Structure 1
Amino acid sequence: MAITRFCFVRHGETPWNAERRIQGHTDVGLDDEGLHQAELAGRWLAAAPSPPTVLYSSDLLRARQTAERLAAALGLPLQLAPELRERRYGVFEGLTYDEAKRRFPDDYRAFEHREPDYAFPQGGESLRTLFARVTGRIEAMRVAHPGATVAVVTHGGVLDIINRFVRANPLQLPRDFHIPNTGLNWVVAAADGWRIESWAETRHLDHGALDELDLA
């Protein structure tokens, strides 16, 4: 089996990221900082020793705007993958984390404890459902692009799933890794399975990037 190398990229910063507001499927665009981050990520990847040869993106605006800048820098066509959208957060979408905790304490507790089968009211999605759609899509990409280097622009919740899938960690385990805006996450799919090469690279940025969680 040929080795396929993936660069999973979180989208650039949005106004709602800056406000610690939960986005989900709400179609929020990048702010000026996010557009700048996307430009820097594109230049960095274009100058890499083995730049990506295939480019995918979630179809949500914040991911597409990021991916369009990567596409311009890399000279690649952009393919959309709706399966790599963010998790659907239902009634939580549009609220800050503090607002969600105050208005829906029981739901927030289930969310905070990462209960795998908990789905948010008003069309929300469980972690188990998210895991199935995300891993199914990246496995299909692996099969479709043997030996390629594939860049994929996606979201924090999707990257959370990918990290756990690759490391074989349970969905309910507290997160122990960062997911910064336009962080570069390099993952390899080989005959013996998936492995992480590096995670949350931000050397391409001229200053720090936001993570929706306050990890030490």
Structure 2
Amino acid sequence: MIFSSPLKRAYSSIEPLARKKQKAIICSKNLIERGFGVVEGLEMGNIKSAKAYEQKLILRQTAEKNYRPDGGESLWDVNIRVKEFLGFLSTIHIKGIVVCMTHGGVLDILHRIIMNEPLSSERKWAIPNGAFFLLERCKSEFKIIKWAETSHLDSSGMLDEY
């Protein structure tokens, strides 16, 4: 089974694998990246508008688990979505491997749920782009087997031929 966030960057990343394995992609809104609403796409260092102070304040507050920027989601909202998805995976009978293509914010919450880390704690684990994360399901519990594996991205043995 292959699940994906319906957002284009996730869906288009998983399409080649789905074609190769001849599997359908099941989109789940529970795998969508956290919505930041009025500060979507902004970074602290890049805010230069007249609303700079207000936007920086909103960005700082997004780290608080219950703070929901206008038009966005709180960490708690994302936590609920990820728990719903894990609950769904716990109820279906799966033979073999399940692949899920998602985003960093979802992976952060996933780690917090599995490791019982509070939403308010500082993140101490990496979530690099292009990494894979291997989980194992034992009954209704999940455990982390590999986290932030990037060895497949090492190009030292690759030839760039034209």
Gaps of 5+ in 2: 156-162
Among 15, 20, 39, the alignment partner of 1:92 is 39
Question: What TM-score, normalized by structure 1, do the two folds share?
Answer: 0.65
* Alignment check: 8 A CA contact 2:39 2:58 kept: no
CA distance in 1, matches of 2:43, 2:37: 13
| Mapped partners of 1:139, 1:64: distance in 2 | 22
Residue number among 114, 120, 138 corresponding to 1:166 in the alignment? 114
**Percent of residue pairs identical:** 34
The aligned residue for residue 136 of structure 1 is 84
Q: Aligned equivalents of 1:97 and 1:66: distance in 2?
A: 28
The count of aligned residue pairs is 151
Does 2:73 align with 1:119? no
**Cα RMSD for the two superposed structures:** 1.9
Deviation at 1:148, TM superposition (A): 3.3
Give me the whole-angstrom Cα distance separating, in 2, the residues matched to 1:97 and 1:68.
Answer: 33
The residue that corresponds to 2:18 in the other structure is: 71
Counterpart check, 1:107 vs 2:107: no
- Structure 2 counterpart SS, 1:200: strand
Q: Higher Cα Rg: structure 1 or 2?
A: 2
2:56 partner amino acid: P
Mind listing any 5+ residue stretches in structure 1 that lack a counterpart?
1-53, 208-216
Q: Kindly state the Cα deviation for residue 106 of structure 1 after the two structures are TM-superposed.
A: 2.0
Paired with 2:20 and 2:152, the residues of 1 have a C-alpha distance of 14
Question: Using a 3 Å threshold, how does the CA distance of structure 1 residues 132 and 186 change in structure 2: closer, same or farther?
Answer: same
1:198 aligns with one of 139, 142, 146:
146
Counting only pairs closer than 5 Å after superposition, residues 152-191 of structure 1 correspond to structure 2 as 152-191=100-139
- When normalised by structure 2's length, the TM-score is 0.85
Contact 1:58 1:81 in 2 (8 A): yes
Classify 1:168/1:80 alpha carbon distance in 2 versus 1 (closer, same or farther; 3 Å): same
1:183 Cα offset (Å): 0.9
The higher relative CO (CA closer than 8 Å, separation ≥ 6) is in: 1
